[in-house]
Structure 1
Amino acid sequence: MFVTPQGDKVFVVDGHIHLWDARPENRRNRYGLTFIESFWGSHVGMTPKEQRWDFDRFCHYGVEGAAKDLFEDGYVDMAVMLPTNLHDFFVDGFNTTEQCAAFKRAYPDKVILNGRCDPRDGARGLEKLEADHAKHRFKGVKLYTAEWNGVSKGYTLREDIVAPYMEKCRELGIKNVHIHKGPTIHPLNLDAFDVRDVDYVATAFPDLTFVVDHCGMPRIDDFCWIAGQEPNVIGGLALIPSFIHARPKYFGQMLSDLLYFLGPDRLTFGSDYGITSPKWIVEQFMAYEFPDDLAKEAATELTMEVKRKILGLNMARLYDIDVPSECRLPEPTSADDGEILLTRGDEKVDVAA
């Protein structure tokens, strides 16, 4: 929990964390090294010098290291884990459900464990998802369209193989589908990260919520137009807040665009831990204010209410997390006819309660 100098308490949900193992003995081939080196380059380039780790710790920080970085130092009240296998690069996988489950077992009241699935695995993958769900009771799963899988170097959400997995999620009551759509990582392919397939599944499955992690960056413009037309698409900000230190103008432009098109209720915080730790990001985000030109373009002021929504309340809503009373927002104003008055920018809109 973050507490402002004025005593305001801000509930923090880190919606994008990993518990990875990129140690030399777990690297299957040279791609295991180049993959973690790509992450390392982001860590060094974005993180304040005094917050940087050495490379060995970056490759493997473990359960207790993660707990200290997140829960003791990083203001995080709840953490959402997003597994990624990458068995083509790592012997036992990079960040598998089983690896992440160790963190959930150690901190069951602070960690939400999501599953993962790959539609290229066909019937076998559906059986695996169902078995994993029976064991862990997922509320969300992750899709990584750029992950290598044998001879396949990625897939698109337009493919027919995807729908059965969305139907299985619906059947199992898994309502949150996280889709990795971010910058290229060596040796993965740029086209497999393209965000311009998200509307296919969002339109076809309106009862599911699609959290597009990294908001498609560097294709923010494409993402904004897609999310603007698909109300069940959420912007997962992981990696974007990391630019607040090294490139604050770039960060501000991305955030103002996202707020304009999506509003403050459809953006969720993520540190992308362990690429970097949440401590300095939360501190700098809470201190950040738009310059005048970007404030006008965002159509939404970065008020305490907006920051609370982004840092924790929006993700808490998606995952049914009980927020302490002192961190909640005031109850919305209700019209006499049972409608709720919502605000987006300076515009007020009536929607059915």
Structure 2
Amino acid sequence: MIDGIPVIDAVVHPYNLTEENFRTPHARPITDLVSGGNRAVAPEGYRLPKEGYERDWRVEEVANMSFVESYADLAVYHVVPIRAFHDGICSVEKGLEAQERWPDRFLFYVGVDPLEGAKAVEDLERQVEQFHDPVGLKLYPNSWLGSEVSGWLMDDPEVAFPLFERARRLGIKTVAVHKAIPLGPVELKHYRVDDIDRAAMAFPDLNFEVVHGGMAFLEETAWQLARFRNVWVNLETTATMLTNRPGAFERALATLLAHGGDRALSQIFWGTGCMVSHPRPHLEHFVRDLAFSAEWTERFGLAEMTEENKRKILAENYARLHGIDLAARLAAVKGDEFALRRPDGTEPPAPYSTTAVGDVAY
């Protein structure tokens, strides 16, 4: 918790960024993007040099960063299926370790590459068996299976819809897709959000989660929140603007709420993408500093960003999306190993101090 407010971090992922994990040449520009991003968005003390960042991160380090060095109560592990890396960049195996060691702290999204066709369906079924009741499916709009980068769209009736149908049959109700941030020198069209419209219409009983919502295509995403009850925005990466470009974050959040108001507010939730950036500074700025200026409240007729509204974004909306009994989950982690190391209300330890690279942070 932070200042008495529960926190669910909707995306965490311990990447393996070692060159030994590179499967195709496409792995290098993706690594450069996320590695450079750490230094670009982080304030003093939260940056890591290339040699400290581009390594194989352990799931225990991400757990410590989330629950000890920051304020998350629960975190959502995303299996990442980027085949430019041998293990996809964030492996099933690390997720299974988190499930075994900290089942009360983590929720899980399985991840497949839709352009693998029948293999993607087999992979989906296998992961659903491996994880105990996964709550979502994570997808990327590009495929890095060979020398060429291919793309697909969420409204493709041959590629996407059969996978959504199988996920639904397997009990998965939420499909999360990486949008807004192109991963290297690829076509932008697959990172737009327009293709989510038809998916949301064709599968009204599924929820579609726009990961990185607000980083780009603001108006389009805002209108989706206003038109579809089954479209949600995950603030992963968008949240980093609170630290290095607070005015841009204010504009992004205000625009997302512009057409849907309170209804749109109920469809937005917190995410940091730990360990892409350190989760602490962005969360502190959101809770302690964020307030809409007169410019935005007058332009869009917005309500104040009250503690009640921040509570919704930080945990309550996500809990409602997945039918999580938040009080019960908070009770389950009370007094566990992480709570003992950072009791609620106490200051977290120094950034990266619980990881293998605390001595190189700057």
TM band (smaller chain): 0.7 to 0.9
Q: Deviations over 1:244-285 (max 9, x none)?
A: 121111111001011223432110100121111211111110
Contact 1:202/1:230 (8 A) holds in 2: yes
Does the C-alpha gap of structure 1 residues 325 and 96 become closer, same or farther in structure 2, counting only changes over 3 Å?
closer
Q: For structure 1, which runs of at least 5 residues remain unmatched after alignment?
A: 4-8, 328-353
CA contact (8 A) 1:16 1:272 kept: yes
Following superposition, the deviation at residue 154 of structure 1 comes to: 1.0
1:220 aligned partner? 218
Match of 1:12? 7
Q: Determine the structure 1 residue equivalent to 2:339.
A: none
Give CA-to-partner distance per residue, 1:228-253, whole Å, 9 cap, x none.
21110001111111001211111110
Deviations 1:127-178 (A, max 9, x none): 2212221221322101111232335511112222211111111111100110
Pairs aligned (count): 322
* Equivalent residues in 2 for 1:79-158, closer than 5 Å: 79-87=75-83, 89-136=84-131, 137-150=133-146, 151=148, 153-158=150-155
AA matched with 1:211 = E
**Match of 1:173, as an amino acid?**
G
Q: Assess, with a 3 A threshold, how the Cα gap between structure 1 residues 325 and 304 changes in structure 2: closer, same or farther.
A: farther
1:274 corresponds to = 275
CA deviation digits over 1:108-145, x for unaligned, max 9? 11111111123222223212212221221322101111
Alignment match, 2:170: 172
Query: Residue 257 of structure 2 corresponds to which residue in structure 1?
Result: 259
Q: What is the CA distance between 1:64 and its match in structure 2?
A: 2.1
Cα gap change, 1:298/1:279 in structure 2, threshold over 3 Å: closer, same or farther? farther
The equivalent of 1:332 in structure 2 is none
Which amino acid letter does the alignment assign opposite residue 105 of structure 2?
A: K
Q: Note if contact 1:225-1:261 (Cα within 8 Å) is conserved in structure 2.
A: yes
How far apart are the structure 1 equivalents of 2:88 and 2:329? 40
Do the aligned residues in 2 keep the contact of 1:146 with 1:189 (CA within 8 Å)?
no
Moved beyond 6 Å, runs of 4+: none
* Aligned residues of 1:101 and 1:113 also touching (Cα < 8 A): no
Q: 1:38 deviation in Å?
A: 0.7
Moved more, 257-266 or 34-43: 257-266
Task: Check the 8 A contact 1:58/1:274 in 2, yes or no.
Answer: no
2:214–2:235 contact (8 Å) kept in structure 1: no
In 2, Cα distance between the equivalents of 1:233 and 1:219?
15
Q: Distance in 2 between matches of 1:109 and 1:223?
A: 32
Gaps (5+ residues) in structure 2?
331-362
Q: For residues 326 and 169 of structure 1, do their structure 2 counterparts lie closer, same or farther at Cα, with a shift above 3 Å needed?
A: closer
Aligned to 2:355: none
Give the one of 20, 34, 37 matched to 1:39. Answer: 34
Contact 2:59/2:94 (8 A) holds in 1: no
Residue 204 of structure 1 corresponds to 202
Q: Counterpart in 2 of 1:76?
A: 72
* Percent identity (aligned): 29
Q: Distance in 2 between matches of 1:315 and 1:126?
A: 26
Q: C-alpha displacement at 1:299, in angstroms?
A: 1.6
Task: Verify the 8 A CA contact 1:17 1:82 in the aligned structure 2.
Answer: yes
Which residue matches 1:2? Answer: 2
What secondary structure is seen at the aligned counterpart in 1 of 2:210? strand
AA of the residue aligned to 1:62 = R
2:309 maps to 306
Partner of 1:319: 322
CA distance in 1, matches of 2:242, 2:208: 25
